[in-house]
Structure 1
Amino acid sequence: MMRTVAFSQKKNRARITTSSAVPSQTTGSEDRAYWCKILYKMASPVVFNLAKGTLKQNMPVETPKGYAKKYERVTYLEAVGRTMAGIAPWLALPDDNTAESKMRKELRDALLKGIAKAVDPQSPDYLNFRTDYQPIVDAAYMALGFLRAPQALWEPLDSLTKLRVIEEFKALRTRSGAYNNWLLFAGINEAFLLKVGAQEDPSRIEFARRKIEEWYVGDGFYSDGPAFSMDYYNSYVIHPMLVEMFKVLLDRKKIGKSEYDQALKRMIRYAEFNERMISPDGTYPAYGRSITYRTGAFQALAQVALMQQLPEHISPASARCALTAVYHKMYDYCNNFNEKGWLVLGFCGSQPNIADYYTSTGSLYMATLSFLPLGLPADNEFWTSPAEKWTSVKAWSSEPFKKDYHVEY
């Protein structure tokens, strides 16, 4: 019996070692096809059910022990807003005759129908913007989606739906969120209103702007409120939302270019850490709050890549290969979907015990946020360049790699 157990353990160790190997080199087009497949799989249950008015009916909802909210009032907007922010750049690409374009068009058409249902009081999938604090967060991700793809997701909406969206966003002003990264949610909600020509509340924008600047601690990291916490919130929220908010303010001449440029430089610096967190086998540290957001941890790196602002020593190909390795590890090796394609509560598979008290099924769709480079066309160098090693692969292969440093901006 003991020999059988030992043999079984040995086989299991071998299986893990094999699955943990660096993926064989693939072409950029193969990587892109794989990214599209995963993102389409992840987004489809949310988007297609919303379009049919069956999201609340069909979305299974998991919550951890001690969950602190009434999930039926918040989880559905969480799923919609977060998914929308992640797929928006991809949906913004023009249609063509490819299989990928067919997937994009299906999702885009369905999401436009779904947005109309989400703000229609007579719809079974009318989403809650008007009570509880959590909608401040997830309206902000919806705003991020509109800002990332205005021609694809905002302009095609009919006038009544646009008016309803604006009114739902204004209704968020009856509440204030937490004194931390939540300030950015209120700020970007108002920046969205400013962008679409509605009357914004400048005080919410200004409060977020001043406090986030005050909470900068250096070397690409912001504190999440007055106290620093070591987690992925600089990527989940702070850098991407701050830069997007500043982009709107810069376009409206409400801030100077130097302020925007500094925020962008800080995000680029943080993206360097983001890239170095990816090990040679595609794993990354499971630390801090909200690790159930999975690959959302790499939104900052993904946004810098989408903006074609990667640091000189991180090539587009190496960033692509690093993220692809993460996806293979996270979505091939870990069973993160249930039998109907919904994300399950956990990090690598079903692990409800690691979920935070504010996390439910809808929360998990932050995972879409690292797929932003799909907004780059297939002929961009991010996708056409031959595969390259990323920093940790070079470091652990005894190859030259860039020495890290501290920056003071």
Structure 2
Amino acid sequence: MTSEHPNPPHGETVRDAWVARADALLDAARRHATPGAGRIYFPGAEGGYGHAVDGLEGFARTFLLAGFRIAGARGEGVDQIIAHYSRGIVSGVDPEAPDRWVRMEEHAQAKVEAASIALVLDLTRPWIWDRLDALTQQRVVDYLAPVVGDDTYPQTNWVWFRIVVQTFLRSVGGPWSADDIAADLARHDSFVREGGWLSDGDERSYDHYVGWALHVYPILWARMTGAADLAGDRNDADVARLDAFLHDALALVGGDGSPLIQGRSLIYRFAAAAPFWAGVIADVPSHSPGRLRHAADRIVTHFAERGAPDADGILTMGWHGAWRELAQSYSGPGSPYWAVKGFLGLLLPADHPVWTAPAEPLPIEQGDVLRAIVSPGWIVSGTTADGIVRVVNHGTDHALPGARTTDSPLYARLGYSTATSPIADERGWLEPLEQSVALVDRYGRATHRTAMTLRDVRVPGGAEGHVGIAASTWDAHLVDPAPTAHRHGSGLAGETLSVGTITTTSIVRASSEVRIVVVDALAPGQDAATLRLRLGGWPLSGDEVVGGTDDTGAWVSSRGSSSGIRALLPAGVAGLVSRADADPLGVRTLVPVIEHEVRVGEPVVALLDLAGGEHSAPHAAVDIDGATVTVTWPDGARTVSRLIDSEPPAPALRHHEVRRGISHAIAKEQHA
């Protein structure tokens, strides 16, 4: 597979290339189906929910892709796909079949997969549902019916699984509950946040689920048979939110097509393309079909060119290749096939104008990107020269406000990018290292920042050279985690101990960030002499990773990228920390770090950088005069940022002083 080409060779159309990709995935899936076709067992170790659930996932998730193909082809030329999955449905709902589907009463995961089955039965109604015999149709209804009145659905994106199933049941004369659907829609509405974003539940859960679930399902549901009267007064708002979200989603795609490596369920890979196709289907007003299709193509192609699917046509549990620890504890070999949501555009027939619309570039392909996303508390900085999109995170942790857990490496780090992965092995869940600010005790235990308070996030000006500013304050706490069988993205709960309070401000420009850290206070009984303040930089991974240090800084190079950190105020001790098989991007990871003595109330300032190429730790100059921060950046540009104290005005501070408890927020910024 290759990148989208404005004039595909050999007379191939853009859509033909997508069809070929989809059919290769479906061909591989059929090779691993049971004789009755009711389950599909992909190679690999059994998942955390057991063998039967693995087989159901294999069927239901690839059935999504089959449905897109069948509906987009209007049932023509897809007879083999129709026959195979029709046969699987007959077996799946036959209580005596050896490959029958796990029922919802037997395992809750069936509730997830039932939604895919119901959605596709609606999409392919003339070619599958209408041709099923009456007994099988009744068995399908009986299989889906337990969703009605079931109040055990998690109050997250799962509410859409019940909405979709009940809408299908309603359309075929089965049982359904208007009260259930109303309650689920109200719950969805409670997830709505500023700027078209949604949080996946009450926790501060901002990740790819915003796009591939919370935006995609409303668009598809509104088009289901019998949904018009239920969705009629909601559709405009859903489309408007999607339209707003896409401004940010487009800016988060790297120049190489990589999605942001952040959040749970990353093994779904190119499902990240789904909201762009949803935008085409919904005919959003602000984004052209050519740009949305191009974004989807860049994402799918990114993975295809890096081993996903693999040489056997299989999507493994991993990012590019297989890396099991990236999956959730419950995931099985069929789980990665939610990736096929990225092929949602195949619902659109060959005569849809999206397939002939000129491809338009991503934001990162047009120029450098600098934007604030308020809801997750992110500053986004993308640089065209290397194609890397970076996120500096001061508001997302997959936790409730006030929660004290370990930091989830997938959510609570201070930075994520399209070129780096958080350390996500077992140790990564226990010890913040990369992209962290932590107090480290005499035993080497590092504090966590879950339940940070977002203080500010903004880009004060749009002219070239302007900066993004974000800040947060948190209770730096140690955690002795309790054992747990399953992990769903949040940090680990356990016994906690407060060590102190930390406020961190990020001033971001291009590939660089000036990070200002103040230990506001230590908890009673804590001794500064027994603690160290550690700042971790961007991690880089690969088969060959090199790094070095000097008196004030450390740097790492791998796969054509470089990461550096340098102490600016005061002097610190630079170092490199190595991890083996710690993330999906390589066998070795190096993290540049700086350590400082703990001095309560005094600012510690470091420069962090992530860029293409190979170079040593970057240099910059910072001057703090009261609440004014002047930065001379590595390229010589100079910015002046005014930091506002959230408390009543205090007398002017001496050079390099910052009062304890300060909340940094930008009031004025200029470029000189």
| Alignment TM-score > 0.5, same fold | yes
**Is residue 358 of structure 2 the alignment partner of residue 383 of structure 1?**
no
CA drift at 1:210: 0.9
CA distance in 1, matches of 2:3, 2:37: 40
What's the secondary structure of 2:193's corresponding residue? strand
CA drift at 1:59: 3.1
**Is residue 88 of structure 2 the alignment partner of residue 114 of structure 1?**
yes
Deviations 1:47-101 (CA, angstroms, capped at 9, x unpaired): 56547425658532435xxx6x4322312222222222233232114569xxxx5
Deviations 1:309-338 (CA, angstroms, capped at 9, x unpaired): 1434x3222222222222221012224336
**Is residue 16 of structure 2 the alignment partner of residue 44 of structure 1?**
no
CA distance in 2, matches of 1:282, 1:57: 30
CA drift at 1:213: 0.7
Instruction: State how 1:213-228 maps to structure 2 within 5 Å.
Output: 213-228=189-204
CA drift at 1:371: 0.9
* Contact 1:48–1:107 (8 Å) recurs in 2: no
Aligned to 1:124: 98
CA distance in 2, matches of 1:319, 1:252: 26
Aligned to 2:323: 351
Aligned to 1:303: 278
Q: 1:336 to 1:93 in 2, by over 3 A?
A: closer
In structure 2, which of residues 152, 158, 171 is the aligned counterpart of residue 176 of structure 1?
Answer: 152
Q: Which shows bigger deviation, 28-37 or 377-386?
A: 28-37
Deviations 1:210-230 (CA, angstroms, capped at 9, x unpaired): 111122112111111111212
In structure 1, which of residues 259, 272, 282 is the aligned counterpart of residue 247 of structure 2?
Answer: 272
Deviations 1:98-150 (CA, angstroms, capped at 9, x unpaired): xxx54x33212211122111111232221112311111111011122123332
Q: Which has the higher contact order (CA 8 A, sep 6+)?
A: 1
Q: Which shows bigger deviation, 274-283 or 216-225?
A: 274-283
* Contact 2:36–2:88 (8 Å) recurs in 1: yes
**Is residue 297 of structure 2 the alignment partner of residue 316 of structure 1?**
no
What's the secondary structure of 1:285's corresponding residue? coil
Instruction: State how 1:227-376 maps to structure 2 within 5 Å.
Output: 227-248=203-224, 251=227, 253-254=229-230, 257-307=232-282, 309-312=283-286, 314-337=287-310, 339=312, 341-376=313-348
CA distance in 2, matches of 1:151, 1:181: 29
**Structure possessing the higher radius of gyration over alpha carbons:** 2
Aligned to 2:63: 84
Q: Which amino acid aligns with 2:193?
A: V
Q: Which shows bigger deviation, 25-34 or 297-306?
A: 25-34
Deviations 1:285-327 (CA, angstroms, capped at 9, x unpaired): 11101000111122222122234x1434x32222222222222
CA distance in 1, matches of 2:265, 2:154: 16
CA distance in 1, matches of 2:110, 2:118: 12
CA distance in 2, matches of 1:87, 1:202: 30
Aligned to 1:7: none
Q: 1:178 to 1:315 in 2, by over 3 A?
A: same
Q: Which shows bigger deviation, 132-141 or 296-305?
A: 296-305
CA drift at 1:24: 5.3
* Contact 1:240–1:303 (8 Å) recurs in 2: yes
Aligned to 1:10: none
CA drift at 1:196: 1.8
CA distance in 2, matches of 1:81, 1:57: 9
What's the secondary structure of 2:261's corresponding residue? coil
CA drift at 1:23: 6.1
Q: Which shows bigger deviation, 69-78 or 230-239?
A: 69-78
* Contact 2:60–2:117 (8 Å) recurs in 1: yes
Q: Kindly, what percent of the aligned residue pairs are identical?
A: 23
Runs of 4+ in 1 over 6 A off after TM superposition: none
What's the secondary structure of 2:126's corresponding residue? helix
Deviations 1:158-192 (CA, angstroms, capped at 9, x unpaired): 21111111100013456722222222212222122
Q: 1:206 to 1:394 in 2, by over 3 A?
A: same
* Contact 1:90–1:376 (8 Å) recurs in 2: no
CA distance in 1, matches of 2:3, 2:22: 22
Q: Which amino acid aligns with 2:89?
A: I
Question: Relative to total residues, which structure has the larger helix share, 1 or 2?
Answer: 1
Aligned to 2:42: 59
Q: Which shows bigger deviation, 374-383 or 24-33?
A: 24-33
* Contact 2:198–2:206 (8 Å) recurs in 1: no
* Contact 2:38–2:91 (8 Å) recurs in 1: no
Count of aligned residue pairs for this structure pair: 367
* Contact 1:232–1:297 (8 Å) recurs in 2: yes
Q: Which amino acid aligns with 1:41?
A: A
Q: Which amino acid aligns with 1:35?
A: W
What's the secondary structure of 1:278's corresponding residue? coil
Instruction: State how 1:387-398 maps to structure 2 within 5 Å.
Output: 387-396=359-368
* Contact 2:258–2:299 (8 Å) recurs in 1: yes
CA distance in 2, matches of 1:352, 1:366: 16
CA distance in 1, matches of 2:177, 2:31: 33
Q: Which amino acid aligns with 2:367?
A: A
CA distance in 1, matches of 2:271, 2:40: 26
CA distance in 2, matches of 1:196, 1:252: 15
Q: Which shows bigger deviation, 30-39 or 130-139?
A: 30-39
* Contact 1:77–1:139 (8 Å) recurs in 2: no
| Superposed CA RMSD | 2.9
Q: 1:115 to 1:139 in 2, by over 3 A?
A: same
What's the secondary structure of 2:51's corresponding residue? helix
* Contact 1:91–1:149 (8 Å) recurs in 2: yes
